[in-house]
Structure 1
Amino acid sequence: MIRIHVLSAAFIAAVMVLVGVSPVMAGDARQQVATAAAHAGMAAAAADDKMVRGHLQHVVNCLVGPAGEGFDAAQANPCKDQGFGAIQDAPMDKIPALQAALKMAREGAAESDGVKAREKAVATQSALSKLSM
């Protein structure tokens, strides 16, 4: 009988851990996309070219997540605690559109011409805002 109680307690503890961990493991792609779109808008509206590029890097950080290619830990991650990156957390059918937005954000962040960087920011915001997650 003691073995049954120990086994039952261990099973219950394992289930509790799994239930407790599951929500943390699942990212909120919708929230990450909305945050990325907001930062693309901030980039488009920024008066300073450095801020344009900085907000576009925030978009990149939200889309790729901390383990993703192009994540810049020296820049802010406004999607911290929202998931693992919108691309990783999104449904498969949304990934091509997210990758297209990522490409625009990266191009804008690398752009030396502030006007062209803002144009990329506007296009990025538009692309992200059109996504229905």
Structure 2
Amino acid sequence: MTKHFVRGLPALMLVLALPFAASAADANGAASKQIATAGAHAGMALGAADLATTHAHLHHVVNCLVGPSGKGFDAKAADPCKGMGQGAIVDAKGDTAVEARLHAALGDAQQGLKATTLDAAHADAKKAMESLQAK
């Protein structure tokens, strides 16, 4: 009996580990989707012809990064990442390099929301987009 237990132990360990690995993969996939969506909206903000549209897309960036329960989430603005995860920053938890990029992008997007000129908002949108596209 001990012999069968020892032989089956690696298989048992694999079966027990799979749900955790799948969960981690899902979280990383969710973060990646939200990062890509936030990056697309940073690009839309950069290409917007007026300040109101730029601000609208920067709100979308913030919403994708912080998620519906996060500080700075604006329920009045659209949430293009709805249903993708808990927010890219939350879903990337544990990957310090990615978290740092996301926090930098969040700061840039929030700075852009405070901008009173189109050029300043575009400059912040560009920085946010670059942070989101960095690998």
- Asked if Structure 1 and Structure 2 have the same fold, meaning a TM-score greater than 0.5 normalized by the shorter chain, the answer is yes
In structure 1, the gaps of 5 or more residues are 1-18
Alignment match, 2:49 = 47
Q: Quick one: distance in 1 between partners of 2:88 and 2:126?
A: 19
Deviation at 1:91, TM superposition (A): 4.2
In structure 1, the partner of 2:10 is none
Query: Could you tell me which of 56, 68, 71 is aligned with 1:69?
Result: 71
1:59 partner letter: V
Partner of residue 91 from structure 2, selected from 89, 92, 96: 89
Which of 98, 108, 114 is 2:112 aligned to? 108
The one-letter code sitting in structure 1 at the alignment partner of 2:91 is D
Q: Which structure 2 residue ranges, 5 or more long, are not aligned?
A: 1-18
TM-score, normalised via structure 1 length: 0.77
Report the count of equivalent residues. 109
Root-mean-square deviation (Å): 1.5
Percent pairwise identity: 45
Per-residue displacement from partner, 1:86-127 (whole Å, max 9, x unpaired)?
000014222111111100000001111111000100111111
Distance 1:91 1:65 in 2: 13
Offset at residue 84 of structure 1 (A): 0.2
Match of 1:4 in 2: none
- Structure 1 stretches of 4+ with a deviation exceeding 6 A read none
